[in-house]
Amino acid sequence: MTIDDAAIPLDAINRLNSMREGEHRGLFTSDLSVNEFLLVREAGFTPLGLVLGSSVYHVGVQMARWSKNQELTTLSEAMYHARELAMTRMETEARALGADGVVAVRLDIEFKEFGESIAEFIAVGTAVKADPEHPLAPPGYSWHNSLGQPFTSDLSGQDFWTLLQSGYAPLALTMGTCVYHIGHQRFWQALGNVGANVEIPQFTEALYDARELAMGRMQSEAERLEADGIVGVQLRSLPHRWGGHTTEFFAIGTAIRALRDDHTIEKPTLVLPLTD
Amino acid sequence: MPAHPTSTPWSGRGLPPQAHERVERARRTQVAGSLLSAPEATALASVGFMPVGEAMGCTVQHLGWDGYGCGGGASYGWNAARTVTSGSGERWSGLGPYVAALYAGWHTAMRRLVEEATLLGADGVVDISLTETDLGSNNREYVALGTAVRASSPAAGRATRPFTTDLSGTDVSKLLHAGWVPTGIAFGIAAAVRHDDYTVRNQTAWSQRNVQVDGYTDLVNTVRHDARDQFERGARQHGGEVVLVSSMDLRVWENEPSDGHRDHYAEARFVGTAATAFRQSRTAPPRSLSILPLDRTRKTTR
């Protein structure tokens, strides 16, 4: 143990004792993990506070033809609209704090004891402010995106740090959704497949179609932001409460823009972890 | 064999005699128990903290009155309702005693844990787990269990009161290396009730319409806001510049006190660790090392 290490508890304990006296200003909350908190600070950002937006939403009812592959537009619109409401409220909180951006955003849907077709849509993240003198901060660069809003990103603190190191800046969380009804097979069709290993083109096409629609919508959101690309995309299939044949396909990712031409990062050191 | 518990029942003040006995024995024998894993213990040793024993605080509380009844308060029937939270201190905030009982449970458990840690001569308690068990008949048990640690260097002064944190030993070590010290665990608990008024019933009726349910949205937003306020207040009491939220829960339930009169209740809870900087710098001083672990690649953990 070096002298420096041993000195840590002394400094820490002295500060602990002094902080216990009186009222303190400048407290902020954050749901970042310790790793994320330290990395976000190292990247030149100061957390301002936890920001949260929520909407309890009644999702309309739409009937689908039993055997037909089709998008359920009413449901797609509902999933979009409710998420937008939650996101907008979160962004409003971030703007009120004077944030440059929101990191580690989570978008969740929870069906609670409100009834059958009612769910809570919630967006949570940590608002951050950039240090303009930090070496990573490009001179004169505004962290607000092309729509003049603080940036939003669903990347973890680790990914956020790496992204900035490589000369990219997050613009906004982009998403695309499609609620799709996959048609049931007709009796004769199903009978024809009994005992055979065959592709069922109707099902394949439906799943293809739905995913392409969701990803396409996410892409057009990114185009609107004049983004260079989207990173950390997740393509989720969320069955919610609509039975086996109706599924929400949800694409979500962070649209980014290049800050400089050179995108090389320091070569990582290889380590062999001694833990599982 | 330790002496058998005395026949006089414990008064409920301070710590039970058994707790005193265990602490006394630990002090005498210098045998330090610890709930830490090997990486956690090593990480804490690197910042000069050594385990001195397990610290526990526990209490069983009876919830005599849950604040049910006239949830609507000022609004009945079909009139426009409003959300009433436990923190509002209004005439209708019947949920106040309910939330006060939850707070009492956690604060008692934490106080006892700190008392044990103080007797062990600790400077802090790390990796605290908080568990709540329903024992039936409206009795609830609250347990806080962690590992008490003490600064090993003789130069270090003693903390006037041990810090508490629900962060793991490795997390605490990382924070200390970066110049932050945890101060204490903060709780933010709030409950709220809202009567299902005409607008809510209309918006939740079976229909093809996509619509935000304004009443429920107001309910969850108000209760979370109240809990966040309480949480921040709790963190300030510990003296912190930052609070790292470790859990954030929301529970919603329905109650029908009379026919055709339906209320919705919501309870929000925030738990986290407050910390403060002891090295003043605008950004964290240590450089992270970019490494590539040579095990199966997995998703980056948060």
> CB-CB: which of A20, A56, A61 is closest to B206?
A61
Cβ neighbours for B197, distance < 8 A, ≥ 6 positions apart: B75, B78, B79, B80, B81, B215
Q: Report the pLDDT averaged over residues A44-48.
A: 88
Calpha distance A153→A255 (Å, rounded): 8
B172 touches B165 (CB < 8 A): yes
**What pLDDT, on the 0 to 100 scale, is given for residue A118?**
87
Q: Report the pLDDT averaged over residues A78-86.
A: 91
Calpha distance B77→B297 (Å, rounded): 58
> CB-CB: which of A13, A34, A41 is closest to B159?
A13
Whether A84 has its CB under 8 Å from any CB of chain B: the answer is: no
Calpha distance B174→A234 (Å, rounded): 30
Helix axes B96-119, B17-29, angle to 10 degrees: 30
Chain A with chain B: Cβ pairs closer than 8 A: 243
**Cβ neighbours of A37 in B, within 8 Å:** 242, 244
> Which of A3, A10, A11, A38 to mutate to test binding with chain B, by most B CBs within 10 Å of its CB?
A38
Strand partners, A74: none
Tokens of B179: 């110049």
pLDDT digits (tens, 9 = 90+) for A227-248: 999 999 999 988 877 777 888 9
- Pairwise CB contact (< 8 Å): B293 & A30: no
Calpha distance A19→B278 (Å, rounded): 10
Whether A123 has its CB under 8 Å from any CB of chain B: the answer is: no
- Pairwise CB contact (< 8 Å): B242 & A27: yes
Report which DSSP code applies to B32: P
Q: Report the pLDDT averaged over residues A207-228.
A: 93
Chain B nearest C-alpha distance from A6 (Å): 5
> CB-CB: which of A10, A44, A55 is closest to B156?
A10
Q: Is the ipTM of this complex over 0.85?
A: no
- Compare A116 and B228 and report the one with higher pLDDT: B228
In chain A, count H helices and then E strands. Answer: 6, 10
Identify the closest residue of chain B to A85 by CA–CA distance: B212
Under DSSP, is residue A84 helix (H, G, I), strand (E, B) or coil?
A: helix
- Pairwise CB contact (< 8 Å): B212 & A52: no
Burial status of residue B210 (CB atoms within 10 A of its CB: 0-12, 13-18, 19 or more): buried
**Cβ neighbours of A26 in B, within 8 Å:** 241
- Pairwise CB contact (< 8 Å): B208 & A120: no
How many other C-beta atoms are found inside a 10 Å radius of the C-beta of residue B115?
18
- Compare A12 and B92 and report the one with higher pLDDT: A12
Angle at B289 between CA A140 and CA B167, to 5 degrees: 100
Calpha distance B55→B165 (Å, rounded): 12
Whether A62 has its CB under 8 Å from any CB of chain B: the answer is: yes
- Pairwise CB contact (< 8 Å): A19 & B295: no
**What pLDDT, on the 0 to 100 scale, is given for residue A97?**
84
Chain A nearest C-alpha distance from B158 (Å): 7
Helix axes B169-177, A34-42, angle to 10 degrees: 20
**Cβ neighbours of A114 in B, within 8 Å:** 204, 213, 216, 252, 264
How many other C-beta atoms are found inside a 10 Å radius of the C-beta of residue A9?
27
Calpha distance B59→B253 (Å, rounded): 26
Place of tokens 């509002």: B88
Band the pLDDT of A22: cuts 50, 70, 90: very low
Which string of DSSP letters, residue by residue, matches chain A?
--HHHHHHHHHHHHHHHHHTSS-----EEE---HHHHHHHHHTTEEEEEEEEEEEEEE-------TT--EE-HHHHHHHHHHHHHHHHHHHHHHHHTT-SEEEEEEEEEE--TT-TTEEEEEEEEEEEEE-TTSTTSPTT---S-TTSSPEE----HHHHHHHHHTTEEEEEEEEEEEEEEPPPPPHHHHHHTTT-----HHHHHHHHHHHHHHHHHHHHHHHHTT-SEEEEEEEEEE-TTS-TTEEEEEEEEEEEEESSS----PPPEEE--S--
- Compare A103 and B69 and report the one with higher pLDDT: A103
**Cβ neighbours of B231 in A, within 8 Å:** 29
> CB-CB: which of A9, A31, A58 is closest to B211?
A58
Tokens of B279: 């090295």
Calpha distance A46→A41 (Å, rounded): 6
**What pLDDT, on the 0 to 100 scale, is given for residue A16?**
62
**What pLDDT, on the 0 to 100 scale, is given for residue B246?**
92
Q: Return mean pLDDT, chain A.
A: 84
Q: Report the pLDDT averaged over residues A7-24.
A: 58
> Which of A4, A8, A88 to mutate to test binding with chain B, by most B CBs within 10 Å of its CB?
A8
**What pLDDT, on the 0 to 100 scale, is given for residue A8?**
57
Q: Report the pLDDT averaged over residues A178-204.
A: 82
**What pLDDT, on the 0 to 100 scale, is given for residue B117?**
93
Q: Tens digit of pLDDT per residue, chain B (302 long)?
A: 455 555 677 887 888 888 888 888 888 887 888 899 988 999 999 888 999 999 999 999 988 765 554 444 444 444 556 777 776 655 455 688 888 889 999 999 999 999 999 999 899 999 999 999 999 888 999 999 999 999 887 666 777 889 999 999 999 998 988 888 999 999 999 998 888 887 887 787 766 678 888 888 989 988 998 899 899 888 888 888 889 999 999 999 888 777 777 888 899 999 999 998 887 654 445 566 777 777 665 554 44
CA-only gyration radius of chain A, Å: 24
Calpha distance B107→B105 (Å, rounded): 6
Cβ neighbours for B232, distance < 8 A, ≥ 6 positions apart: A27, A29, B186, B188, B243
B219 touches B83 (CB < 8 A): yes
What's the per-residue H, E or C state across A189-221?
HHHHCCCCCCCCHHHHHHHHHHHHHHHHHHHHH
Chain A nearest C-alpha distance from B95 (Å): 19
- Pairwise CB contact (< 8 Å): A275 & B174: no
